[in-house]
Structure 1
Amino acid sequence: MTISLAKGQRIDLTKTNPGLTRVVVGLGWDTNKYSGGVDFDLDASAFLLYEDGKAKGTDDFVFYNNPSGGAGSVTHTGDNRTGEGDGDDEQVVVDFSKIPAHIHRIGITVTIYDGDGRGQNFGQVSNAFVRVVDAASDREVLRFDLGEDYSTETAVVFCEFYRAGADWKFQAVGSGFTGGLSALCKNYGLDAQ
């Protein structure tokens, strides 16, 4: 049975799911009927964070152009440039057993590619969700539907995984940013040039 979370809620992920070591983080969305003449290109990313909540280099930032990080513990499966169709639009695979000891948190984010330049924002996106699936059994463990209206934001932190001793927990974040990927990188300690 899938657990549905609300913004701000946390759950013991690996403690309540014994044997869970590898998950597929599925992210999905629909775009509202919008005739701007350009497709929405939403991009999922993962930031691997040290104890101070900051990423330190390119290996700590996983996205379609850097599809693997954290010694292979986090992998982006590919860029979907239109978001068409049902189900997950993009996926990030996380192997908790391979995450380096210095990584304490993983932020899963979605940005609108060139959102400012195209006049696009998350206010024009609906049905956005993140779901966590056990990679071994293909069972959906939890789901977080964003449901909020983001009128000017071009980037959103959907969720974070974080260490609690030997276990990993999940937090439904739903925090929006203006300034797209650059703002997210700055938030997580990277310089996006």
Structure 2
Amino acid sequence: MSVNLAKGGDAPIQDLTRVLVALGWRPADDAGPEPDLDASALLIDRHGMVLSEKHFVFYHNLKSPDGSVVHEGDERVGVSGRDCEVIRVDLEQVPPRCARIVFPVSIYNGETTGQNFGQVRDAYIRVVDQTSGDELVRYDLTEEAAKYPAIIFGELFRKGSKWHFRAIEEGFSTGLRGIVTGFGVDVAG
């Protein structure tokens, strides 16, 4: 049975080793040019910093060096009723020094084009058992996110020896660049 989270809520991930973190959305009917959303993952240490530049998994770096986090590729068109981008996570392979895996979603060049999550409908993040396909946890983005071009949707985090998922929904007007530099990723240019 799936747990629907409220903003700030968290839920344990059952004793699983492999999960999918799936994101979905559809463009608003009046969105103008269709926004291109991009999901990412950052493997973060207990000090709040990315483990290394290669632990920033996104459309130009589809796999963490240890293979624990794999992005299945960029989907440029949102479609209602199905997952648009999927990130596979092998929880057993996540390096022990990783305290959490943060999942930002950004509108490609949204901070410069003026596009934001107000042009998106039915946006969600969900955690799925990779083996059975069962949804474990789900968070539906609220209207509060409408003014931002980038949002941290949620995170997987360690609580003792167990993994949990937390719904965050923290918006950034500075786009993906603003999110990743805050975690220590050096973004050139």
TM-score normalised by the chain length of structure 2: 0.94
1:34 aligns with 2:30: yes
1:162 aligns with 2:157: yes
Q: Distance in 1 between matches of 2:111 and 2:118?
A: 13
Tell me the number of residue pairs that the alignment of Structure 1 and Structure 2 aligns: 188
Q: 1:180 aligns with which of 167, 175, 181?
A: 175
Q: 1:44-101: CA deviations, max 9, x gaps?
A: 0000001101114222100111000150000000100121353101000111010011
Residue identity in the other structure for 1:169: H
Residue identity in the other structure for 1:28: G
Q: Distance in 2 between matches of 1:117 and 1:164?
A: 38
Q: Distance in 2 between matches of 1:148 and 1:96?
A: 31
Q: In the alignment, is the contact (CA less than 8 A) between 1:70 and 1:99 conserved in 2? A: no
Q: Distance in 1 between matches of 2:115 and 2:153?
A: 18
CA shift in 2, pair 1:158/1:101, >3 Å: same
**RMSD across aligned C-alpha pairs, in angstroms?**
1.4
1:130 aligns with 2:116: no
Q: Secondary structure at the match of 1:91?
A: strand
Residue identity in the other structure for 1:119: G
Q: In the alignment, is the contact (CA less than 8 A) between 2:49 and 2:184 conserved in 1? A: yes
Q: 2:69 aligns with which of 52, 58, 74?
A: 74
Q: In the alignment, is the contact (CA less than 8 A) between 1:123 and 1:149 conserved in 2? A: no
1:117 CA drift (Å): 2.8
1:95 corresponds to: 90
TM-score normalised by the chain length of structure 1: 0.92
1:116 CA drift (Å): 2.5
Q: 1:143 aligns with which of 138, 143, 149?
A: 138
Gaps of 5+ in 2: none
1:116 corresponds to: 111
Q: Distance in 1 between matches of 2:50 and 2:176?
A: 14
Q: Distance in 2 between matches of 1:72 and 1:105?
A: 16
Q: In the alignment, is the contact (CA less than 8 A) between 1:4 and 1:142 conserved in 2? A: yes
Q: Secondary structure at the match of 1:94?
A: strand
